[in-house]
Every structure is written in C-alpha cells, then in structure tokens.
Amino acid sequence: MPQIKVCASLACADLLNLERDLRAMEAAGIDYLHIDVMDGTFVPNLALGTDLLRAVGRATRIPLDVHLMIERPERYIETFHVLGAQVLTVHQEASIHLQRTLAAIRGLGMRAGVALNPATPLETLRYVLDDIDLLLIMTVNPGFAGQKLIPSTLGKIADARALFEAHHREVDIQVDGNVSFENAVRMAQAGANWLVGGTSSLFMSGLTIAEGARQLRTAAGAA
Ligand code: DX5
Ligand code: ZN
C-alpha cells in the first residue's frame, strides 16, 4: 500500500503571515509544501514566482513539491532545481517533448511528476510510464482555489492505479483541488496517496492547520 503524504498548498496560506503558517505546517508534520506556479497563460491566474519560492525555501525544511502550471515548463527545470525543488511536476498539456522533459528533471536528481487536467485522458501517458515518479491528477481545472470536485476524476484515479499495478510500477498518485475531508476518503479509496490540502481542508477558516492535517490523515486512513 503506497504511503499517504499530506501536501500543503502554499497559495492557500496566509501570505502576510507566511512564517507563522510555515511553523504551523512544520508542527503539524506536513510532508511537502505544494507550490502552484502559474503563468497567466497556461492557466488564467498569475501566482507564486521564484522570489517567493527562494524565500520560503530558506525559511523551512519542509521539502518543496513544485507544480508548474506554465507553458513550456522545460525552460525552467534548472531554475527550480537550484531553488531546491525535490519534486517537479509539469503538465502533459504544456510540454510537447514530455519524455525529454521528464528525463531532464530526473537527470538533475529531482522526482519527475506529470499533471493531467480533468479533460486529459490517462492514455496520453502510455509511453512515458517508466519516466514518471508521480502522477498529479487535477480534480478541478487548475488555476483557482475554492472550486468543486469534478466527479469523473475519481474514476481516473482508479484507472491510473490499475494501470500502474498492471505495469508493476509504484508511482505516487497526487490529487489537487477540493481535497476536502469527505472527498479525501473517496480519492484515497480510488488509489490516491498524496493529498494537496487547500481551502477545503488545511486552510479552512475556523480550523487550525494541525487539526486539518490530522483530519486529512484520518480521512485517508479510513479509505
Ligand atoms: C487549483 C489549486 C487548488 C489549490 C487549493 O489550481 O491548485 O487546487 O491547491 O485547493 P482547494 O481546492 O482546496 O481550495
Ligand atoms: Zn497544484
């Protein structure tokens, strides 16, 4: 059974009190800091650039899991390596020579992730299965926090887990978007093991990050 990891979505933290939130994430045992880099082209939103990442990387020991929601991500592989990314995820839809991009990420010692938008079939990854360490299944359309789960993505998670098992590959399956405590149960049941917590869980108003993390782990464990 793949290990459950709780990833905190940096875009959903309190940017004016980031240091306080980072300490709270560390105390809560957050496994990865999930950083959504948005270019205003691949997704409509602009968010989280390299300067912020540099500052955050210096301020915490939580490993950095970088999700590039940008066109032609291959241009920035070296940049994010230098900034300390341990996991670097690119979108299938954004990289024409995907195999080369994934090999370049691994070549620098990072774990290679691929993200799929809700409308993108799993089959697009058929010939790069051996090049992937992590599959990010977007459970909402990327770009904004606070959206609702797209139900068909649950079936995609289950199909992905079955595909990796058939290929005898232990690939982590990450889910991003509306990972609420209720949805986390269904996502983990379907085979997801890396959960990105945003406004639906870890950064929900009225809840501490520690309590959110505890509830997310309980939800995933209940699956
Ligand atoms: C989508 C974002 C969100 C983010 C926040 O582009 O990446 O999925 O993590 O999660 P929620 O949906 O809980 O606000
Ligand atoms: Zn993300």
> CA distances (Å), 201 to each of 5, 15, 149, in order?
14, 17, 13
Please tell me the distance from the alpha carbon of residue 160 to that of residue 140, in angstroms, as a whole number. 17
Report the separation in Å between the CA atom of 222 and the middle of ligand 2, taken as the mean of its atom positions: 24
Which ligand lies nearest the alpha carbon of 36? Answer: 2
Q: One digit per residue, pLDDT tens: the chain, 223 residues?
A: 689 999 999 999 999 999 999 999 999 999 999 999 999 999 999 999 999 999 999 999 999 999 999 999 999 999 999 999 999 999 999 999 999 999 999 999 999 999 999 999 999 999 999 999 999 999 999 999 999 999 999 999 999 999 999 999 899 999 999 999 999 999 999 999 999 999 999 999 999 999 999 999 999 987 6
DSSP 124: G
- Tokens standing for 60? 């915490």
Q: Does domain 5-222 have CATH number 3.20.20.70?
A: yes
CA of 10 to the centre of ligand 2 (A): 9
CA distance 192 to 44: 27
Instruction: Enumerate the domain spans of the chain.
Output: 5-222
Ligand number, closest to the Cα atom of 205: 1
Query: Residues 114, 116, 122, 126: is their CA dihedral positive or negative?
Result: negative
Q: Is 196 near ligand 1, meaning CB less than 6 Å away? A: yes
Question: Which phi and psi angles does 85 have, rounded to 5°?
Answer: -65, 135
How far does residue 107's CA lie from ligand 2's centre (Å)?
23
Q: Which atom of ligand 1 is nearest to the CA of 203?
A: 13
